[in-house]
Structures are given as C-alpha cells and as structure tokens.
Amino acid sequence: MSKIGIIGAMELEVATLKKNMDTDQITKKAGMEFHEGNLKGMPVVVVQCGVGKVNAAMCVQILADLYDVTHIINTGVAGSLNPVLDIGDILVSKDAIQHDMDVTPLGYTKGQIPGLEQLAFVADEKLCKTAVEVCKKVNPDIHVTEGRVVSGDQFISSKEIKDALIAEFHPDCTEMEGASIAQAATLNNIPYVVIRAISDKADGSAQEDYPTFEKKAAEHCAKLVQEMMKEL
C-alpha cells in the first residue's frame, strides 16, 4: 500500500495539510516533527523540514529509514525564472538541479555532483501527471505547467543572478530544497515530485511580492497536494 511523505520547508507550507489530516502519532527527530496519519484516506507522513538543502535531504532519509514511504511530494513556494510563469502559477517538476553545486575546476558540468552521472534528477512521471491533472480540477483558474526546478542555499532576489541561472540551466523556478529532496529520493529509489506555487519573480521585486503572496501560494499548493491523495 502507498504511504506518502509530504515535505514543506516552512510551517505555512504544511499547516493546512496537518490541520486536515487524521493524525495518529507525532514523532520528533533531528529537530523536525513527523505527523503520521491519514489524509483523504491515504496513509501519509507530513513534516516541516526547515529551510535549505541539508535539512531537506535529512528529512527524506528519515522518511525512508523510519517510515518506509513509497512516494515523496515536496510542496511549497518558489521564485519564477520563466517569463510565462507569473505570481500565483504552479510549477510541477520534470526534474531538479542543484544550481550551487560547482566542481567545474575538476571537469564537471555546473550543477553536477561528483560520483553521480546525472546532472538533473528526474521526477516521477505518474506523480507529475497526477499533480497537473488534479491542479486543473481543484485550481481551475491557476496556470499550471511542468518544468525544471533549480535549488540552492540562497534566496534569489538579484536580476544578475537570475539571468545567470537562466543562461546556465534553462530552469522554470528557483527555491532552496527541491533538488536535494530529488537527489535523496532518487538515491533511495523513491518516486518524487516537487510542486511549487510562484510567490515572487526572483528579482528585485521579491522583497515586495514575497510577503504578500507567500501565504496564498502555499495554500494553493496544499490544496493541490491534499486532493492528489484521492488519485494515488
């Protein structure tokens, strides 16, 4: 039977899910609270991992080792790197890359992790398709598309950095956890998908846009993830 691990970096990204699930047990591990129970009839473990790639990767490993999850969904917000993606839109990951991994002096491609052949970690096709189809049903007024997520331990608010990421990786959005979740899930042979609601444009407007749209964007993502449980 499926058991879904649902990860959000910040409390607002998982608060709605925790509120609406039937919780059987809460376990604290590595500074995180793992809420185990059922959501829309599906066994789930919902957890706020904290910000950044290390927190996110640790969280996946705990979900794999202690909870034997069969799928991982990462929900949250992101900055747009695609002019077609506006604030409020939703991006479902096709794949994910760590943009701040740089071992190019040793002959690696920017973003490539030594010891691993792939540059990008490919998301699960079924999870992606389900996310897109469900989003069209529950959020019919919201534009949803599939694309590439790039992650790094920095909040992108500079046009110069944004332009460099676009030129290097041809991504659709940027955030701080998705690609490390993708890596950890891939290495554990767990199907994953990253779902991101666009909260800012990843440029100089971020300071103004982010507080305004973050909560609304997170709620849209949570609504989508919640309804996905009926289809998995």
Which residues are known to be catalytic?
A: 13, 200
Which tokens go with 38?
């059922």
Residue 89, number of CB atoms within 10 A of its CB: 21
Total Cβ atoms within 10 A of residue 193: 30
The three-point CA angle 114-92-77 to 5° equals: 90
